[in-house]
Amino acid sequence: MTLFGYLFLLFSVAACSQLNDEAARSERSVDFDAFGDYWYQGKAELNTYDLEQYRYGEKRSGEAVLIFVTEDFSRQKQVKLDNPQEHEADAQKVLKLNMTKNFLTGIYPYSMMLSAFTPVYDKVPAVKMAGSVQEWCGQTYTQLNQQAGQYQVRLHSYFEQEGDQQLTLDARAEDDIWNLIRLNPKEVPNGQLRLIPGLLDLRLTHIPFAAHTATVALAPAEQAMAGFAANQLSTCTVTYTDYPRELRIFFTSAFPYEIAGWEEVRKLENGQQEVSRATRKAIMLQDYWTKNGNAFQPLRRELRLQD
């Protein structure tokens, strides 16, 4: 190929890439000016919640945290880029959710964590999700990577009936919904669809890993939550038809669509229900990764976190 031909090809690829990026931006129902003013401050949004979590048939008191932050992500490796300025072609802006839940079951603790990475500009589902559960009996780890429009699933578990698994699922994921709400609730898929239940819930039920039929609906909230009147909130409800779960996420109807709390309903075989609930108690914008010295520990009190 001649030098002119090579330069023409390079320019064409770059132009197509730019057009694709612009098309992706136009497809998202997002006010990117408002989004950038809030999410590109170099800080994360930290939310803390009082948690009521059912486990082994009893309600436990605990604590949950939701951390939302934007990052530069590698399209190829699907990990955070250390130097995105050196890999612009590979860089993809994502909104990351880190969710943690901590509670006690009698003498021993449960520690749970979910991570979800949803592209900001590319109108595609979450490109990666990971969930882990640690307790004194053992631990599990699940990771989903989006490849060619499907999720490649890897599950590693201490429990014999789960063991180590690899499978492919062609479905949307419940855990992506949290980020889609924060982008714009209009991005949340409505109606009936095949959905992978929340990774943390799947580990608590130990139901075989699979996609299930669910209905997703958004509506004005019918109840108030701590710090919020009902008319300030909307609800995203995820109801499964063949999996014993209903999820209700309560969020502010106006940008930045803050998560006020949520309810997770477990439908038991005897017809009864267990309702786990999280209610927000504090919010903070903070570059927390720079606040790892002992001098910053008082910030935990501002977040009303337990010691």
Residue 25 lies inside a defined structural domain of this protein = no
Distance, CA of 30 to CA of 36 (rounded, Å): 10
Residue 103 lies inside a defined structural domain of this protein = yes
Residue 139 lies inside a defined structural domain of this protein = yes
Report which DSSP code applies to 17.
H
**What pLDDT digit, counting tens, does each position of 50-82 carry?**
999 999 999 999 999 999 999 999 999 999 999
**What pLDDT digit, counting tens, does each position of 28-51 carry?**
889 999 999 999 999 999 999 999
Residue 64 lies inside a defined structural domain of this protein = yes
Distance, CA of 139 to CA of 136 (rounded, Å): 8
Q: What is the chain's alpha carbon radius of gyration, rounded to the nearest angstrom?
A: 21
Who wins on pLDDT, 273 or 16? 273
pLDDT of residue 160: 87
- Are 162 and 142 in contact by the 8 Å Cβ rule? The answer is no
- Judge if pTM exceeds 0.85: yes
Collapsing DSSP states into helix, strand and coil, what is residue 214? strand
Structure tokens that stand for 219 in this block: 């509506």
pLDDT confidence bin for 13, thresholds 50/70/90: very low
**Where in the sequence is the domain holding 38, given as residue range(s)?**
31-302
Residue 20 lies inside a defined structural domain of this protein = no
Domain count, the chain: 1
Planar angle of CA 288, 289, 292, nearest 5 degrees: 85
Residue 171 lies inside a defined structural domain of this protein = yes
Residue 147 lies inside a defined structural domain of this protein = yes
Q: Does the pLDDT value for residue 143 go beyond 90?
A: yes
Distance, CA of 67 to CA of 229 (rounded, Å): 23
Q: Work out the mean pLDDT of the chain and round it to a whole number.
A: 91
Average pLDDT over residues 144-162: 94
Residue 187 lies inside a defined structural domain of this protein = yes
Q: Is 241 exposed, middle or buried (0-12, 13-18, 19+ CB in 10 A)?
A: exposed
